[in-house]
Chain A
Amino acid sequence: MNGIDIKFLEDSFKKYYFNHFDLITSPQRTSEREFGYQKFNSGMFRHISLKDNKELHLLFIQNIPSDVYCSNAYYAFPNSPMSEKDWKEADLIFDIDAKDLNLPCRKNHTISICNECNEVSKDTGQCIKCNSTKLEKKSLPCKNCIDASKIEVNKLSNVLINDLGIDKENIHVYFSGNEGFHVYVYDSQFQQIGSKERSELVDYIMFRGAIPETFGMKKFKPNRSLFPDFNQKGWNGRFSKYVFGSKSKRSKIISELLDNGYPSFQKTLDDVSENIGVKIDPNVTMDIHRIFRLPGSINSKSGLTKILCTDLTKFDPYADACFLNDEPVEVLANCPIEFKLKNKKFGPYDNEKISLPTYAAVYMICKKLATIA
């Protein structure tokens, strides 16, 4: 990114920070957290400890960071090197990202930027100009992607509340600032469990590693009375809804399952996992030393804010998480696909000089689809 673009982004971010300290509040037990930040075109600064909101705001003002992060873990010595931090516990965190959902709409709103010749084109496997395969993919706003991610968030909440006994009030859903959601679970029985245990929770939530016996199928002397039923709690109930569909079909489908036999039941389970397992990123939840984008900070991949969603159903990230101003800026834009921000349509632009509101200019520059003219 060139110096002029960086200057513009920093100015825009700075204005946002000044006007929205109300959105940037330090997490509970601030002094036990590790913070980190990045500046445009520079590496990561980690192992920072802060006392309170005031110190946090100072970090923003002094550094004008492109991204700010905070650990979900609590440490005795957050600013020591990792091995000496003395890990105490960590909030449970889940990452749901539209790019992991394999949705058919992806190709319609993905742009390829060639690393060799900078050619911008609709999603391809190869640069249309120089045939290079070194392409950077950028995804533009898509309602379908957000809606699908919301469905996963709701599936996750359901398992967290009903199966894992977590209080609804302790589940906080944040828009990630790009194309997904971060789900935080506070004060649960899982605060102190380690990485291996979290990985087991992940498998449970994703419906991975199930054996036929758990869902009623036995290798020897199978018995139809062992199959799950609709009124059962947990995965047995969800399994019933998905596999049997309706009460009237249950009996017939059990007969089919029994006819197909034990080995093919594993395929049924794979299918269940694929369709009703919750699609979370396993690595994120397992990692107990990670730092996560700080709520209220801007995501430099998009210029959108990571923000708490109080009403997920109504939440529209491309309007509700877009806090930058409307001041017009001249940019050179190159974006073959139309997109919407703050309910306004933009593009397509074919290497043209145009005037855009700041929020749209920032969005495009962050996505490498425009530069200041």
Chain B
Amino acid sequence: MLVLGQDEKAKYPFLADAGEYLKDKGFSLVQFGSDPVLKLSVEKALHRIKVASAGGIYKSDIDKDGQASKDYVLEREVFSFLLAIVLIKLTGMSTLIKRFALAEARRAEIYLEKDLGNASNKSKIDLATRIIYDLFNIEITKENDFFVIPVSDYLKHSVTFHEREWKLINRHVENGKVFLTPDKTVRLIRKELGNYISSKIINAPKPSMIPGLENIVDELISISKKLTPTYTITTGEYPPCIKHAIDVLEKGENLPHSGRFMLATFLLSKGQTVPQIVPLFKNAPDYNPRVTLYQLNHLAGTSGSATKYSCPSCEKLKTQDLCFITKECDNIINPLQFGKKRT
């Protein structure tokens, strides 16, 4: 396994061995329930989970290069991650695992991208490529400004993406290799990174309750319970195009603007409110709550403009590659008609 420096552990805390790390630092888990200094790490852990469960990415106290003014800041970064896992395990809520893993994957992505793109520092690039190799068995090499990976590895990861940009034909391919920019390289393994982190959480042994942390665990349980309903949004009988769009968003993949437009107008027409719809977009790679809210209000006709937008026709959606027609669609001309018996 990789040997990591303190700053690297802060950037990629999921690579650290939790038990060993604590032992190295001379602490035991129980101390976090009572020691007032360590309590700061607990608060940080709680914050980290809360941000993740709200669909955001936790902002570290370290800079993009993993540097911090004081050593204990780095230490606290790792502690808070390890403790977050302990807390989540104590709640036993799988929704929290899912959200936390996704958010942490996003956070790690930022550093991986930075490390890969760091033309001046070869050791940083090496570390990032090593991580990708160790975790996902993808061999990445650098060629000029690009990262190249075998076409077969590229395909294994990219086939689940829906955007046409990810089709092999839209990549530079040469000599059995695909050429990628740092951000695309990292984007390619997003799902695996999320899976890796969540499997790490799932496989971690469930600790016994740490005296002093009961209230925090209770608080997290109630947060998690409030989250669960947003996922039931998909259970109605939605047409394939809408199901697909929701699916894409839930996986944290990018849905083109036209797709978001279709989804939002569809749900609005079905009587959902803007606050009900917002959470759907939280996993989008470029999620920005303010912009999303503004756009949705705009579509709903509740903000400035007086027009209320309606859901595009099936024909229009076909031209936008958003239609995933099945025989249930039954010759309807607009997704809104889906499932309604017509006479």
Contacts and interface: CB of A to CB of B under 8 A. Distances in A.
Interface stretch (B45-53, B75-83, B158-166, B282-290): B158-166
A270 interface: no
Contacts of B176: 163-166, 189
Nearest to B321: A209
Contacts of A189: 150-152, 176
Contacts of B158: 200
Contacts of A192: 152
Contacts of B177: 165
Given A189-B176, A193-B156, A211 B151 contact: no
A197 B152 contact: yes
A164 B167 contact: no
Contacts of B144: none
Contact of B168 (A165, A201, A213): A201
Nearest to B171: A214
Contacts of B120: none
Contacts of A162: 174-175
B174 A203 contact: no
B155 interface: yes
A236 interface: yes
Contacts, number: 71
Interface in A150-177: 162-166
B232 interface: no
Nearest to B174: A233
Among B164, B167, B177, max chain A CB count under 10 A is at B167
Among A162, A204, A235, max chain B CB count under 10 A is at A204
Interface residues of A, number: 26
A200 B152 CA distance: 10
B152 A204 contact: no
Interface string B273-293: 000000000000000000000
Contacts of B168: 200-201, 203-204
B170 interface: yes
A207 interface: yes
Given A200-B155, A201-B155, A163 B174 contact: yes
30 contacts: A164-B173, A165-B151, A165-B177, A166-B176, A189-B176, A193-B152, A196-B159, A197-B152, A200-B158, A200-B159, A200-B167, A201-B151, A201-B168, A203-B167, A203-B168, A204-B167, A204-B173, A209-B167, A210-B169, A210-B170, A211-B165, A211-B170, A213-B165, A214-B170, A233-B172, A233-B174, A233-B175, A234-B173, A234-B174, A235-B169
Q: Which 4 A-B pairs have the closest CB atoms?
A: A165-B176, A197-B155, A204-B168, A214-B170
Interface of A: 162-166, 189-190, 192-193, 196-197, 200-201, 203-204, 207-211, 213-214, 233-236
